[in-house]
A and B are shown apart, each in its own frame.
Chain A
Amino acid sequence: MFLLAIFILSILVAIGSFALMKRRREYSIIASAAVMVLTVVYSLIHFASSYSGGYVSISNIALSPSTGIYFSTAVTGFTAWLLILGTVIIFIATLIIRDSKESKTIYSYTLIAGTGLYGILISRDFLFFYIFWEVVLIPVYFMIGQFGGKNKDSASMKFFVYTQFGSLFILLAILTLYNFYSVSHSGLLTFQMSALLNTAFINKIPVLWKDFLIFGFLFGFLVKMPSFPVHSWLPDSYESAPFPGTVILAGGLSVMGGYGLFGILLPVSGIFSTDVLYVLIILGIVSLIYFSLTAMFQQSLKRMLAFASAAAMGFVTIAFGAGILEAGTISASAYASANIYNYTTFYSGILELSGGMFQIVAHGLIMAMLFASLYFITERTGKQTIMNLGGIFREVPVLSSLFLAGLLASLGLPGLAGFIGEFSIFVGSFQAIGWVIFFIIFGMIVTASYHIWAAQKSLFGPYNETLGKIRDINSKEISILMGLLIMIFIIGIVPNLVYVPLVSYIAHLGGIGAL
């Protein structure tokens, strides 16, 4: 019930924020911090030591049993980390809202987006899953539309229509499942994931419909990741969105896409044919290289980071494809006696699959840090193109160092979170895809190049005197960035904090039917 209580609290604070006239900033910071802290406490209780895979905090609230509508919730080790990440991201987003008279509603939008994200991650019922999926989009749409920068109208419209288009396919896929389940499988009407996500059942669906629903899910999730070639909403939305919106886009939406792959589809990995998996791997690699090369050519740091974010999510797609390809069907029997500390028996696919999930968490934190520090830079200099900055290290050494730290984390420097995920995916996928990893190496070299190049041009070199005198960040702002950096660092140094729940989650996926 603890989990539900947190969730209900997050709904209430989001609604409550509309009623508030003054002190919205303090209110939403405290509210999001409360949700974050409670989520961390919750995760500590359930996942710190005793978690051994499967679902915890299972609850079913019957709303309309005759039509099969339940509000079911449950959390795994994977979703627990996504919940922590999501709440951290919302907390950071509220912290970097530029406070002004007009910005009253943006706090509420941020909190609603957080609630939606929370709902997606804990729902074990497709109906509510889909409702919350939509709930996230609307506040982000308003955020871009009302508080965005350049081209905010077209950007917000594009964002909404594009991602809505993706969601539509998810809805159709869900309805397909729903229909076939009641018509040809059991006669029961249900939206329960535990019932619908059943490999044996899905494999019995006529092949055309089965392909359609696989396509629908993948399309919807890949749009959110985003993956090539369904990424067109990304650059404009990232660039136009206000910084809190960008943080939610980078951290939150990629979590939705990643959760879709690893939380929804991984348990039924048996439904994928190898062709689909190869397509996914190729899309991942193409995303990595394509976005990296595109990022290299961007003038705007914000746009560059947007592509960097998408490139990093390419690793997640690769991990998903390669992991399932290597493991074959992930079933209970394959990992029945999995002792994750026993190196003499290896379970193929675990390394890159958990690496892929790790990457989602790491990527969210790193991007939050990068966009938050870029917000501080932009706020001070009024500039966010590389050429208009230059040498700001002289004036704002602390801010520049933290931004540099974010860039280094983003390019996968060991000791920081980004490395563990990329290492696991890189090393793990070797078995599935062999020397194709040289394309990944190429992508990683390009990634390193433009990150370092951007640092050189914007932070180092002679100071651009036209920027005038700018002040370094104050201790409050330092603590925001340092908090993120410390998290990134701790996860990079003690990866088992994240890794053990993830490995347990995968190793016990076969128990999915038990819910």
Chain B
Amino acid sequence: MFIYAWLIFISPLVGFVLSYLVGIKYRNWSGIIASTSIGLSLLFSYLTYLQVNAVGPIHESVHWFYSINYGIYVDHLSLVMVLMVSFVGLMIHLYAMHYMGKDPNRHVYFAETALFTAGMLGLVISSNLVFFFLFWELVGLCSYLLIGFWFFKPNAASAAKKAFIVTRVGDLLFLAGMALLYTHLVGFNGLNGASPLSIPYLIDNAGLVAAHVGKTTLGIVSVLFLAGAAGKSSQFPLHVWIPDAMEGPTTVSALIHAATMVTAGIYMVARLFQVFQASAPFALESVAILGAFTAIFAGILGLVVNDLKRILAYSTISQLGYMLAAIGLGGFLTIGYSGVAYGMYHLVVHAMFKALLFMTAGSLLLAMMELRDVRRMGGLWKRMPVTVTLMFIGAITLAAIPPTAAYFSKDAIIDAAWTYFTGSGFGFISFLPWLFLVTGALLTVLYTFRMFFLVALGKPRSKLAEEAKDPPLHVQIPLFFLAAFSLGFGIWQSHFYDYIMPSTPIPSAPIYIEAIPWAFIVIGVAVSYYLYGTERWKHFHFAGNPLYRVVKNKFYIDYLFTNIIAERIILPLSAAFSTFESHYNTSVDVVGRDTMKLGTFMRRIQDGIIRNYFVVLISGISIIFILMEILRLI
């Protein structure tokens, strides 16, 4: 049997090389080559899907170095991801051929996005944590390069740096988790020849591993993995890099910072769910709480920014929080692995509508000459009807208004959180996820429609907005696909759940609980229409409000990282070390100089006068004799 799965990530790798080399001469071909290679990935993903249906999970592993293997592992979970990544990646690449169509370095762009897609697909299907980590860093690298794609913009260069360093912190904690796990598994008889960091081994033998390693230790491992996921998926407090990452081209934001790469962390937790589950309960509890908290936290931040792309960025962080929380809810026994199904379903739905939102935002920004302030837009529904209608579809999906797909995916998570609360004895801690998530739902509606009404309704508030026009229809074809998915994917809810885990229950809650999100939708839309659907928002001034200031300053988290940790701790530390180093260096020089001076002084003794030598000789011998006498006396 020929394993197509290898080709899933090899195809875009080839696309990376070709699109760059061909693009040096023929710029326009690079986009076509990159898109084709990703189209082929989609094809191979489909073939693999058929193969997995026929023969079950595919696992191939080859010795890499020492006790580490590389290889692929494809099961239902990874298939869902590869299909999503290659499909959304293809759509975004097709759109990017229009969006980046005039950039002089577009061959570099397409080469890098193809490399990114290869990395992402490789990450999803890799069978060993170290191999996984290789792709994990590769996508991080591509993210770094693509955020800084317009490298001459100081903001872009600085955002790229921030993204790299913040995710690096998470990555190294992830690595520490691997080190801890590896150390405890080395020499374990139950390995039966598997590499200690093999993913299929870990998830199939999680109980065995937990018994050998100890539940608490495995819990620490899990929390370290979670830290890695938080860096990649920008969960609190490592979320700070995504909003800045919006300095990159909008298609990059769509591909990397909305649909695919940022879900890598979520995927990692889902992939290793069994490990999290087998370890001490605090592992999955922290997953649930962290996710739910980020959902509400980023939602609050999303309310006050005016940059179109940053609003979307915060909504991404918030939605990622939902996915993570859903997986964390699996810590409650009756939810179990279904939590992964809920989370993954939201992940796929989110990828579709967020890619759609970002690309419509890209069309808007092309028309608005990269002016991203929503307060300067307005009235665009009339001027760009197709784009804004597509954005509307994205917005109602984001707000989880029935019958869009996100309604099904998100309400399931909120209801599951209610089950989590009621099922685990009404504890306060288990109440938090539901509370955060349901409040987050209100915030989602508020910031979504604040953004949408500011963009679409009212009168144009700038010259650029007055003259904005739709891009040609044919370049928008990918967006129609995504819009169709956003609207219609809900009908596959139970199929999707069952594909991840057979006979997953669709969560439900008492009707008065289920009604709360619906009520929030009505309230949210009404409030945002009241404020932002008209020009009333201009008459409200929050600037003096201290609470508003705190939120506007992003709860001072960025301030803490940049101004306190980086500038007040690390930099002075570095200055201190550096000063010490230069003093130390000088002192060595001084020792050297003094030794030379000593040499100069000693040279005088050898003055060549025999008489003096005799004096020294005689006195030396005398001293030795005297000393010997003294020693004998003692």
A pairs with B: yes
- Interface residues of A, Cβ cutoff 8 Å to B: 154, 157-158, 161-162, 229, 232, 235-236, 290, 293-294, 296-298, 340-346, 348, 350-351, 354, 391, 393-394, 408, 413-415, 419-420, 423-424, 426-427, 430-431, 437-438, 441, 444-446, 448-449, 452-453, 455-456, 459-463, 495-496, 499, 503
Contact B183–A414 (Cβ < 8 Å): no
Give the residues in chain B near A408, CB-CB below 8 Å: 141
Give the 5 A-B residue pairs with the shortest CB-CB distance, closest first: A460-B157, A297-B578, A495-B65, A414-B134, A232-B588
B545 touches A (CB below 8 Å): no
Could you tell me which residues of chain B, from 149 to 191, have a CB within 8 Å of some CB in chain A? 151-154, 156-158, 160-161, 164-165, 168-169, 172-173, 175-176, 178-180, 182-183, 186-187, 189, 191
Contact A343–B152 (Cβ < 8 Å): no
Of B193-201, B495-503, B607-615, the stretch lying at the interface with chain A is B193-201
Give the residues in chain A near B66, CB-CB below 8 Å: 340, 350-351, 354, 424, 499, 503
Contact B196–A343 (Cβ < 8 Å): yes
Contact A448–B168 (Cβ < 8 Å): yes
Q: Report how far A161 CA is from B196 CA in the complex, Å.
A: 49
B573 touches A (CB below 8 Å): yes
Q: Pick the residue among A293, A354, A419 that contacts B577 (CB under 8 A).
A: A293
Q: Pick the residue among A297, A427, A441, A495 that contacts B173 (CB under 8 A).
A: A441
Give the residues in chain A near B566, CB-CB below 8 Å: 449
Give the residues in chain B near A296, CB-CB below 8 Å: 570-571, 574, 578
* Chain A, Cβ-Cβ closest to B156: A460
Give the residues in chain B near A413, CB-CB below 8 Å: 137, 141
Give the residues in chain A near B192, CB-CB below 8 Å: 344
Q: What string of 1s and 0s marks CB contacts (under 8 Å) between B564-583 and chain A?
A: 00100011011101100100
Q: A290-B581, A438-B176, A461-B151 are in contact. List 17 more A-B contacts (CB 8 A).
A: A157-B592, A162-B588, A236-B585, A296-B574, A343-B67, A343-B193, A343-B194, A344-B193, A346-B67, A354-B66, A393-B152, A414-B138, A427-B182, A445-B165, A452-B144, A459-B151, A496-B65
Q: Pick the residue among A232, A343, A351, A414 that contacts B133 (CB under 8 A).
A: A414
B148 touches A (CB below 8 Å): yes
Give the residues in chain A near B138, CB-CB below 8 Å: 414-415
Contact A430–B169 (Cβ < 8 Å): no
B584 touches A (CB below 8 Å): yes
Q: Give the Cβ gap from A390 to chain B, nearest Cβ, in Å.
A: 10
Q: Pick the residue among A235, A414, A461 that contacts B152 (CB under 8 A).
A: A461
Q: Report how far A414 CA is from B157 CA in the complex, Å.
A: 22
Give the residues in chain A near B148, CB-CB below 8 Å: 456, 460
Q: Give the Cβ gap from B349 to chain A, nearest Cβ, in Å.
A: 31
Give the residues in chain A near B154, CB-CB below 8 Å: 461-462
Q: Report how far A161 CA is from B593 CA in the complex, Å.
A: 11
Q: Give the Cβ gap from A234 to chain B, nearest Cβ, in Å.
A: 9
Known A427-B179, A495-B64, A499-B66; contact A294-B137, beta-carbon cutoff 8 A:
no
A sample of 17 inter-chain contacts (CB < 8 A) reads A158-B588, A235-B581, A293-B570, A293-B573, A294-B577, A297-B575, A346-B186, A351-B66, A427-B175, A427-B183, A430-B179, A441-B172, A441-B176, A446-B570, A449-B570, A456-B161, A461-B151
Q: Give the Cβ gap from B109 to chain A, nearest Cβ, in Å.
A: 13
* Chain B, Cβ-Cβ closest to A426: B179
Give the residues in chain B near A441, CB-CB below 8 Å: 172-173, 175-176
Give the residues in chain A near B67, CB-CB below 8 Å: 343, 346, 351
B536 touches A (CB below 8 Å): no
Task: Classify chain B's interface size.
Answer: 35 or more
Q: Give the Cβ gap from B514 to chain A, nearest Cβ, in Å.
A: 45
* Chain B, Cβ-Cβ closest to A297: B578
Known A232-B588, A235-B585, A461-B151; contact A445-B172, beta-carbon cutoff 8 A:
yes
Contact B134–A415 (Cβ < 8 Å): yes
Known A344-B189, A415-B134, A495-B64; contact A456-B157, beta-carbon cutoff 8 A:
yes
* Chain B, Cβ-Cβ closest to A307: B581
- Interface residues of B, Cβ cutoff 8 Å to A: 63-67, 130, 133-134, 136-138, 141, 144, 148, 151-154, 156-158, 160-161, 164-165, 168-169, 172-173, 175-176, 178-180, 182-183, 186-187, 189, 191-196, 566, 570-571, 573-575, 577-578, 581, 584-585, 588-589, 592
Give the residues in chain A near B189, CB-CB below 8 Å: 344
Q: Give the Cβ gap from A197 to chain B, nearest Cβ, in Å.
A: 26
Give the residues in chain A near B130, CB-CB below 8 Å: 423
Q: Report how far A5 CA is from B588 CA in the complex, Å.
A: 43
Q: Pick the residue among B137, B172, B196, B573 that contacts A414 (CB under 8 A).
A: B137
Q: Give the Cβ gap from B535 to chain A, nearest Cβ, in Å.
A: 38
Q: Report how far A344 CA is from B194 CA in the complex, Å.
A: 8
Give the residues in chain B near A430, CB-CB below 8 Å: 179-180, 182-183
* Chain B, Cβ-Cβ closest to A393: B151
Give the residues in chain A near B164, CB-CB below 8 Å: 448, 452
* Chain A, Cβ-Cβ closest to B581: A294
Report which residue of A414, A437, A463 has the largest number of chain B beta carbons within 10 angstroms of its beta carbon: A414
Q: Pick the residue among A232, A294, A345 that contacts B574 (CB under 8 A).
A: A294
Contact A426–B157 (Cβ < 8 Å): no
Q: Give the Cβ gap from B47 to chain A, nearest Cβ, in Å.
A: 26
Contact A293–B172 (Cβ < 8 Å): no
Q: Report how far A458 CA is from B577 CA in the complex, Å.
A: 23
Q: Report how far A343 CA is from B571 CA in the complex, Å.
A: 44
Q: Give the Cβ gap from B512 to chain A, nearest Cβ, in Å.
A: 48
Give the residues in chain B near A158, CB-CB below 8 Å: 588-589, 592
Give the residues in chain B near A393, CB-CB below 8 Å: 151-152
Contact B187–A346 (Cβ < 8 Å): yes
Known A298-B578, A344-B189; contact A496-B63, beta-carbon cutoff 8 A:
yes
Give the residues in chain B near A445, CB-CB below 8 Å: 165, 168-169, 172
* Chain B, Cβ-Cβ closest to A404: B145
Known A290-B577, A414-B137, A426-B175; contact A154-B589, beta-carbon cutoff 8 A:
yes
Q: Report how far A424 CA is from B186 CA in the complex, Å.
A: 13
* Chain B, Cβ-Cβ closest to A492: B134
Give the residues in chain B near A344, CB-CB below 8 Å: 189, 191-193
Q: Pick the residue among B158, B165, B175, B176 that contacts A448 (CB under 8 A).
A: B165
* Chain B, Cβ-Cβ closest to A422: B175
Contact B183–A431 (Cβ < 8 Å): yes
Q: Report how far A351 CA is from B164 CA in the complex, Å.
A: 28
Q: Report how far A104 CA is from B172 CA in the complex, Å.
A: 48
Q: Report how far A452 CA is from B241 CA in the complex, Å.
A: 15
Q: Give the Cβ gap from B426 to chain A, nearest Cβ, in Å.
A: 37
Give the residues in chain B near A427, CB-CB below 8 Å: 175, 178-179, 182-183
Give the residues in chain B near A294, CB-CB below 8 Å: 574, 577-578, 581
Contact A343–B574 (Cβ < 8 Å): no
Known A232-B585, A293-B577; contact A463-B161, beta-carbon cutoff 8 A:
no
Contact A444–B161 (Cβ < 8 Å): no
Q: Give the Cβ gap from B155 to chain A, nearest Cβ, in Å.
A: 9
Q: Give the Cβ gap from B38 to chain A, nearest Cβ, in Å.
A: 20
Q: Give the Cβ gap from B117 to chain A, nearest Cβ, in Å.
A: 16
Give the residues in chain A near B584, CB-CB below 8 Å: 229, 232
Give the residues in chain B near A345, CB-CB below 8 Å: 187
Contact B151–A460 (Cβ < 8 Å): yes
Q: Report how far A348 CA is from B187 CA in the complex, Å.
A: 9
* Chain B, Cβ-Cβ closest to A298: B578
Q: Report how far A286 CA is from B578 CA in the complex, Å.
A: 14
Q: Report how far A343 CA is from B61 CA in the complex, Å.
A: 14
* Chain B, Cβ-Cβ closest to A408: B141
Report which residue of A154, A394, A427 has the largest number of chain B beta carbons within 10 angstroms of its beta carbon: A427
Contact B165–A449 (Cβ < 8 Å): yes
Q: Give the Cβ gap from B9 to chain A, nearest Cβ, in Å.
A: 13
